[in-house]
Structure 1
Amino acid sequence: MAAESVGMSQPAISRSIARLEEDFGQPLLERGTRQVTLTDAGILLRSRAQQVLSILEDAKAEINDDGETGRIRVGAIPTIAPYLLPSLLKKFATRFPAAHVGVEEDTTEHLSKRLTHGEIDIAIMALPISEKYLQVETLFEEELLLVMPADHALAEKKQIRASDIETLPFVLLGEAHCLSDSVVTFCRSRSFQPVALERTSQLATVQELVALGHGVSMIPAMARKLDKSKSRSYRSLAGTKPTRTIVACWNPYRFQSKLLESFREILRSTTP
């Protein structure tokens, strides 16, 4: 598998690794009966090699930086990507038709690490961001709306307060998704812990389960705008409202191309 991925034969790869181990005077691989893993020396060498490749990549990008062509790797969390990216990418493509944008959808934790390692250029996420050394720019504050079945008793109330939903079952995204953290944090600030009877990995599934009467939830306002279903009712909570802060993040230690700066400018002017 490794030989095929680099276009070399297995014996050639084995000889190259042997020469490296001879040069460094230490084994780089731990060879077991079923698998091969990196030794501590191998892990260190891989890290340094990745840094060297990143420097070469940045140098190439800087040399060819004409502000019109090139590639930008964009990351976005699943509760933002389907709602914000289409209009953003359309605007960018109109202004820079010769540029290419690659999109990766993942959780905040994974995207933050990919930014740190230089695997993506910019990510659109929600606070908090725990990864160190990333540049974080606030884009906008977004309200989280209470969603319930259209025929739910609360749907008829003029005002719905946090106290009205204290005892209701919740449908939430899995714990890896920061939206769940935002919901739980808000509920705790109102002195109750939401009872999550079901968790899923897709926001659309949360909406469908709510419509089927499995519970209530809190949904980003941008997702509400695209929901044409009449089986769900969305309401803004009275009093202090649950919100999340949408941010753009990038690695300031990587080369910042003119094209990337143009992308950030368009992103700043794009609202869901």
Structure 2
Amino acid sequence: MTLTQLEYLVALDTYRHFATAAEHCHVTQPTLSMQIQKLEDELGILVFDRSKQPVVPTETGQVILAQAREVVQAARRIPELVKESKSEISGELRLGIIPTLAPYLLPYFIRSFMSKYPAVTVHVQELLTEQIVDKLKNGLFDVGIVVTPLPDSGLREFPLFYEPFMVYTSPEHPLYRSDRVTADDLMADGLWLLSEGHCFRNQVMNLCGQPLRGAQPLRYETGSLETLMKIIDKQDGFTLIPYLATLDMAADRLARVKPFADPQPVREVSLVTHRSYLKKGLIDALQREILAHMPAELTRREKGAVVAL
């Protein structure tokens, strides 16, 4: 049994396709297939059920793969430890971020981060929370920026800040005349929501605490809050938006933003990694850079009425 064979196992489990796994490992498909077969012969069991497409681990294979991932992660940690001992911040950082944070949070820190650490290549992908968690577990992401807490003991969460919810309303809607709104006000007619699967939608539903009356679900798969606001500008109704989305608004739109009465509902925004995560130095640098460029009112804010996922 070799480390290379374990890496091939992990790659095939991640991609569930021999050709894709081989490409990821920079070897030919016959080489990867032969080495996995050789390891299976040595162990005397089948790690993968090849009769199914895509291939899936056998019951025993799942146990072996879990251990293989730990061994491969531990081996990959050694070069990272060397970099950290030399105070080197370099390499590749694969970052996943949810759509209701990406357009509002990334501009605050990404340019400064890349300028300060020119030896780092950053790959950013917007995905839903569930997809980010899956990629973290499969080693395809180094870190995610999501809303927490998450119901997964295999992940580590590093809270960054607590972001208030705000209401964005049409001037024709009754909520426009309110100085502050409450959760009960969300039961009014005209609430626009993101499509199912977006955690921001789930947070709004949980904030209401009961089935919504008069909600107008919008099936918009990119999760664009900006689109919801433009619909409200042209038609009627209201929606909820994160505080960061209000900071660069024009004055006419900002007049349509209404805060909640105290205690304000907030969402906890965190960096999330796998428990056996690599690139600690890189991720620590990312955390410092985000906090250094966040609006002071967010970093000072204490945890309030956090809306559960």
What band does the TM-score fall into relative to the shorter chain? Answer: 0.7 to 0.9
Q: Compare the two structures and name the one with the higher helix fraction.
A: 2
The residue aligned with 1:171 is 192
Amino acid at match of 1:123: G
Distance 1:181 1:19, change over 3 A: same
Distance 1:269 1:26, change over 3 A: same
Q: Deviations over 1:100-150 (max 9, x none)?
A: 222232222332343344433332221222111433233222111111223
The residue aligned with 2:43 is 24
Report SS of the residue matched to 2:191.
strand
Is the Cα–Cα contact under 8 Å of residues 178 and 258 in structure 2 kept in the other structure?
no
Counterparts of 2:55 and 2:91, CA distance in 1? 37
Q: Does 1:143 align with 2:164?
A: yes
Find 2:264's aligned residue among 215, 218, 241: 241
Q: Does 1:194 align with 2:212?
A: yes
Query: RMSD of aligned C-alpha atoms?
Result: 3.0
Q: Compare the two structures and name the one with the higher strand fraction.
A: 1
Q: Which has the higher contact order (CA 8 A, sep 6+)?
A: 1
Distance 1:231 1:30, change over 3 A: same
Counterparts of 2:36 and 2:273, CA distance in 1? 34
Counterparts of 2:51 and 2:280, CA distance in 1? 44
Counterparts of 2:271 and 2:132, CA distance in 1? 11
Counterparts of 1:123 and 1:59, CA distance in 2? 22
The residue aligned with 2:63 is 44
Q: Does 1:208 align with 2:212?
A: no
Counterparts of 1:69 and 1:14, CA distance in 2? 33
Distance 1:182 1:41, change over 3 A: same
Distance 1:40 1:169, change over 3 A: same
Find 2:242's aligned residue among 214, 220, 224: 220
The residue aligned with 1:250 is 273
Report SS of the residue matched to 1:111.
helix
The residue aligned with 1:263 is 286
Distance 1:168 1:260, change over 3 A: same
Distance 1:135 1:149, change over 3 A: same
Counterparts of 2:138 and 2:19, CA distance in 1? 24
Q: Deviations over 1:123-179 (max 9, x none)?
A: 222122211143323322211111122333432344544444423132222332221
Report SS of the residue matched to 1:263.
helix
Find 1:109's aligned residue among 130, 140, 159: 130
Scaled by the length of structure 2, the TM-score of the pair is 0.73
Alignment identity in percent? 25
Report SS of the residue matched to 1:269.
helix
Counterparts of 1:34 and 1:114, CA distance in 2? 20
